[in-house]
Amino acid sequence: MKVDHKHARNVSDLKLGEHAILGALRPDSLYLKLLEMGCLPGTPVCLKLPGDPLCITVGGHDLSLRVEEAQCLALVD
Amino acid sequence: MPVKSNPKIALIGNPNSGKSSLFNQLTGLHQKVGNFPGVTIEKRTGLCRLDEYITAQIIDLPGTYSLYARCAEEKTALEVLNNPSSPFFPDILVFIADAANLKRNLLLFSQVRDLGIPMVLALNMLDVARQAGISLQVERLQELLGVKVIPINARAGEGLEKLKYVLTNPVRRETEPFFDVYPLAPRALEEVKQHFALSNNYSAYQLLQQGGISEQVSADDQAWLSSVRSRHQFNSEELQAKETIGRYQHIYQILARASRQLRANRATQLLNTFDAYLTHPGWGYAIFAGLLLLLFQLVFWLGNIPLGLLDGLWSGLTTGLQTSLPQGWFNSLLTTSVLPSLGGVLLFVPHLVVFFTLMALLEESGYMTRIMLLMDKLMRRFGLNGRSALPLLSTAACSMPALLARGSCRSWRERSKQIFVAPLVNCSPRLPVYILLIGLFVPAGSWGLLSVQGLVLLAMYGFSFVAAVVSSWVLKLLVRARAEESFVMELPYFSRPYWRDIRHIVGVNLTEIGMRSLRVVLPVSAFIWLLLHLQTVVVSGGDADKAPHAGLEPGKLELKAELGEQESLAGHIGHLIAPVVKPLGFDGNIGLAVLSSFAAREAFIGSLATISSQAPEQQEKSLLARIRQLYPQNGSAIPPMVISLLVFYAFAMQYFHLAGTLLRQSPYWWAPLLQLVYMTGLAYLAAYLVNQLFS
């Protein structure tokens, strides 16, 4: 089945200052680490610094990650 | 539980939560550094007098974000805490949490709490939390978490009396788990509990999760655990995710009731806007370069002020002693070797104080994390991680012994990366040596408003940075090391640096340099003096003084107070070295000093000071003038020899004073030797190229 990428936005698509809610995580090697860092489904997230690595505010603290790492974090529409 | 008269208390917490500060505050000078058995993770223990009757043994467990181990340090915490028969198994746990980051800190807290060890929560950095607009209700938190919560300030030492008082009283063991893992795998847990005679669900659950990598579980038991896992379809990853989410849900509920997010104060908001500039792909680099420029300029602007005075005083002292003490070898040793070599380092203490203070300010403010972010943008193109830039930028000591020691449980590729790349990146104390060398050899002119010395330091800094990045990139291609770990990391809030911490960093670094001067530079200089004063006398010829190349024939050695440099043993060694170092633009004297600096980089200066102090006509000059005479000067231009010398020291790996530790901790005896040969080769090559280019 093909995934419709247009509708599956992720954290790397956020604009500066945009607020959103985290959806499911893509299960891969980073999955558990991101969970431990507080990136839980349903948590509000905001893009603090754009670029690569970018910086997001999630669960009350700032987290910096690379774009490909941010792509593991899907957003809820 | 009742209080013992000498309870064992372990400190646990996330990295950077102030655990080391708390440990230092509690134990003062009564510390012991050793290793955890079986692993080469540093273990620090110390004694702390809680009250008149009770003296506790404090154990500092390695900082970790979670009980799920990713590296050896993280494993240690679980190995100790899930094994009541461990000699370090604590009677009481002190969990130290960063209040500004409580949510994340509480994840580890909740895991540790469920292991069923009595514990108290030391809540650190409340001031930082307040700055970030987080208001915490301590009483509420205490009630909801089910443990004593004591607000402390580990850096300033506030709240410690209260913490000690709480620790002298019985600490209640919580029976109700924070997060119940039993429903996740009831039947598997029952089996494990029965097999290992455990009563705690979470201990059993952790055995199922991580017993396979534990050194305390026998091979038979590991096989048994693995069969239990497959029989009950125990999916480790899925369950770990469920557990983490479940814990966080509970933490969110608690914090919603015990904390309020106020509006961040204006200063913090301003800093956040500033953050966008600091990490901007254009502005960020400009600001960083500007800051470094300013920092290095200040080192020489401020450091050079007392230089003349110190030089005069030290030379006066030396000359005074020389004339008042009776002539002889002792006088010569003291006034032409010991005092000049110590002076060579001492003259630049003001420079070093300025340097370490400013670096510590940058480190303590939280700016370095922004630099890692910035560097990642640049370095990832070379397949490197921005995090590896940190040691190049900090005052951290040479971390080679620790790095080599961690070589276990890695693939040969990662191992070769450690051996070849790490010394380029992780042995940082090059900057202090640059400061010494530049202060000595680069003429103190100015270029407009800017000091030339400061500019050279900036250039050398840039050079060693680029050299480290490029050579690790090349090596990475050669050994095809796996991509570095992820860049996911926390960006801490900016915080106001504490003078106490700055003073501590400056003190530690200066003490280290001072100790090295006494332990390494002094003996090396004395040895050079000995070489300069030993003459090889030909026994057969009778008229030894006339033999021009006496050293080439077997003869006997004779110690002389006054001796021409050419006739001494040092002169002969210099002759032997000269052809080797000539391509680098060094003469025999510099070559000898470079050779001696393999003991420690500062020894170079001690040796030069000794060599230059020998001739009687030199002894009237001040120390600086003497050393500066050793190389050809033409006005204010920087001699090519100085540049090639600086480049040599960008690579040369000179930490023989660490050799003992290295050989002891490295799993393979050949690794440090290989590093030495390879780095020296690299240094030689680079200095050769630079010398060809500039002369």
Give pLDDT tens digits for B368-380: 888 888 888 888 7
Q: Are B125 and B100 in contact (CB under 8 A)?
A: yes
- Report, as an integer, the average pLDDT of B563-591: 82
The closest alpha carbon to B364, from B278, B276, B493, B458, belongs to: B493
Sign of the CA dihedral with B569 first, then B570, B575, and B577 last: positive
pLDDT at B392: 63
Task: Find all residues with CB under 8 Å of B37, minimum gap 6, and list them.
Answer: none
Is residue A26 helix, strand or coil? coil
Token readout for B298 is 């200040």
The closest alpha carbon to B10, from B29, B30, B26, belongs to: B26
When CB atoms are compared, the residue of A41, A49, A63 closest to B488 is A63
Domain extent listing, chain A = 11-75
pLDDT at B485: 62
Residues of chain B by 3-state class (helix, strand, coil), percent to 5: 60, 10, 30
CATH second-level architecture of A11-75? Roll (2.30)
Length of chain B: 695
Q: Is the ipTM of this complex over 0.90?
A: no
How far, in Å, CA of B371 to CA of B394, rounded?
A: 11
Q: Is the pLDDT of residue B411 over 70?
A: no
Q: Are B535 and B497 in contact (CB under 8 A)?
A: no
The closest alpha carbon to B131, from B306, B267, B329, belongs to: B267
Q: Is the pLDDT of residue B101 over 60?
A: yes
Mind telling me how many Å the CA of A16 is from chain B's nearest CA? Answer: 10
- Report, as an integer, the average pLDDT of B473-481: 70
The verdict on B218 touching A (C-beta cutoff 8 Å) is: no
- B244 contacts A35? CB cut-off 8 A: yes
When CB atoms are compared, the residue of B237, B487, B492 closest to A32 is B237
The verdict on B241 touching A (C-beta cutoff 8 Å) is: yes
More confident call, B178 vs B639 = B178
How far, in Å, CA of A55 to CA of A49, rounded?
A: 5
How far, in Å, CA of B487 to CA of B375, rounded?
A: 11
Per the DSSP assignment, residues forming a β-bridge with A56 are A47, A63
pLDDT tens for chain A, 77 residues: list them: 344 455 578 888 999 888 899 988 777 777 888 888 888 888 889 998 888 889 998 877 788 888 888 888 889 87
Single-letter amino acid, residue B81: L
Q: Is the pLDDT of residue B234 over 50?
A: yes
Banded model confidence at residue B352, pLDDT cuts 50, 70, 90: very high
Contacts of A52 in chain B (CB under 8 A): 377
How far, in Å, CA of B401 to CA of B661, rounded?
A: 6
How far, in Å, CA of B540 to CA of B535, rounded?
A: 15
pTM confidence score: 0.80
Which of A66, A67, A71, A72 to mutate against chain B (most B CBs within 10 Å)? Answer: A66
Q: Are B234 and B185 in contact (CB under 8 A)?
A: yes
Structural domains of chain B sorted by starting position, each given as residue range(s) with its CATH number in brackets: 8-168 (3.40.50.300), 270-479 (no CATH), 499-694 (no CATH)
- B101 contacts A61? CB cut-off 8 A: yes
- Report, as an integer, the average pLDDT of B440-458: 86
In 10 A of CB B618, how many CB atoms? Answer: 16
In 10 A of CB B564, how many CB atoms? Answer: 12
